Amino acid sequence: MSERPFMQLYVSDFVGDTLQLSTEQIGAYMLLLMAMWNAGGSLPEDDARLARVARLPLKRWRAISAELLAFFEREGDEIGHKRLTKELRKARLKSEARAAAGARGGAATALKTKAHTQANADVLTRHSPESRNQMEKASAFSAREGRERPGRLKKPPGWTRPKTHGDAANAIIEEIRGYDHGRTAAGNEGAGGNVLLLPAIRPD
């Protein structure tokens, strides 16, 4: 299919400009214009080729071509048409404008589709079984930590638990037992009694 599927035809102008042409010449003229439109605005100035375009024998073409070629402009070894060139330029600009608009619309649609796809992916991730399990485990762990350690402050590095009175008493008992063990080994029957003399302390 041609890049330019239709050609603008100003009927009144065409009829007015071709009043002096015969029916045969008008047909040949129209065929030349349409071929030139599809070719991008020009045709080679060669009688044999132009005769084939006009669908005429070469001899007949040469007999009627003088009046027809008066409607065209010669540029080097080609012929063109002023009005047709103007219409081609207008069609080309419209086509480029439509292509640019389509590209902008396509880019906007692509961005919208990408954003929609990403949003769907985020929703699926949040609602997937694995994601829900991880979120529930994290929530349960945080709640358990809060119950087990209400208001407990973090201990500074190097911290040790202070000694209590019980710790001091147990240290004394151990010291006395060590002393009594030595006395028992020496045959002293009073060994062990010293622990009972301490107030509020009983041997284990």
Task: Work out how many domains the chain is built from and give that number.
Answer: 3
Q: In Å, what is the CA distance from 37 to each residue of 40, 45, 68, 177, 185?
A: 5, 15, 17, 122, 130
Q: Has residue 52 been placed in a domain?
A: yes
> Both 130 and 183 in a single domain?
no
156 lies in a domain?
no
pLDDT in tens, the chain (204 residues): 456 778 889 999 999 999 999 999 999 999 999 999 999 999 999 999 999 999 999 999 999 999 999 999 999 999 999 999 999 999 888 878 888 888 888 777 878 887 778 777 776 666 666 666 777 776 666 666 556 555 566 667 776 776 676 777 777 777 777 766 666 666 655 555 555 555 555 555
Residues 27 and 70 in one domain: yes
pLDDT tens digits for range 65-81: 999 999 999 999 999 99
Shared-domain flag, residues 108 and 137: yes
Does some domain include residue 115? yes
Does 67 lie in the same domain as 109? no
Cβ-based neighbours of 62, under 8 Å, separated by 6 or more: 47, 51
Assign 134 to helix, strand or coil. Answer: helix
The total of other beta-carbon atoms located within 10 Å of residue 33's CB is 19
User: Domain for residue 191, yes or no?
Assistant: yes
pTM (2 d.p.): 0.49
Contact 41, 49 (CB under 8 A): no
The C-alpha atoms of residue 196 and residue 135 are separated, in whole angstroms, by 60
Q: Which two tokens stand for residue 47?
A: 């009688």
Same domain, 34 and 72: yes
Q: Are residues 76 and 15 in the same domain?
A: yes
Q: What would the pLDDT profile of 16-46 be if each residue is shown by its tens digit?
A: 999 999 999 999 999 999 999 999 999 999 9
User: Is residue 17 one of the residues assigned to a domain?
Assistant: yes
- Structural domain including 28 reads 11-80
Structural tokens at position 140? 């349960």
Q: How far apart are CA 61 and CA 45, in angstroms?
A: 13
24 and 61 belong to one structural domain: yes
Q: Are residues 75 and 126 in the same domain?
A: no
Does residue 160 belong to any structural domain of this protein?
no
In a shared domain, residues 34 and 68: yes
Helix 23-39 to helix 58-69 angle, to the nearest 10 degrees? 80
Q: Are 64 and 18 in the same domain?
A: yes
What is the distance, to the nearest Å, from the Cα of residue 26 to the centroid of all Cα atoms in its chain?
57
Considering 80, 115, 139, which residue would you say is the last residue of a domain?
Answer: 80
Question: Is 124 contained in some domain?
Answer: yes
User: For residue 19, what is the domain's CATH number?
Assistant: 1.10.10
Domain boundary among 22, 45, 80: 80
The reply to whether 4 falls in a domain is no
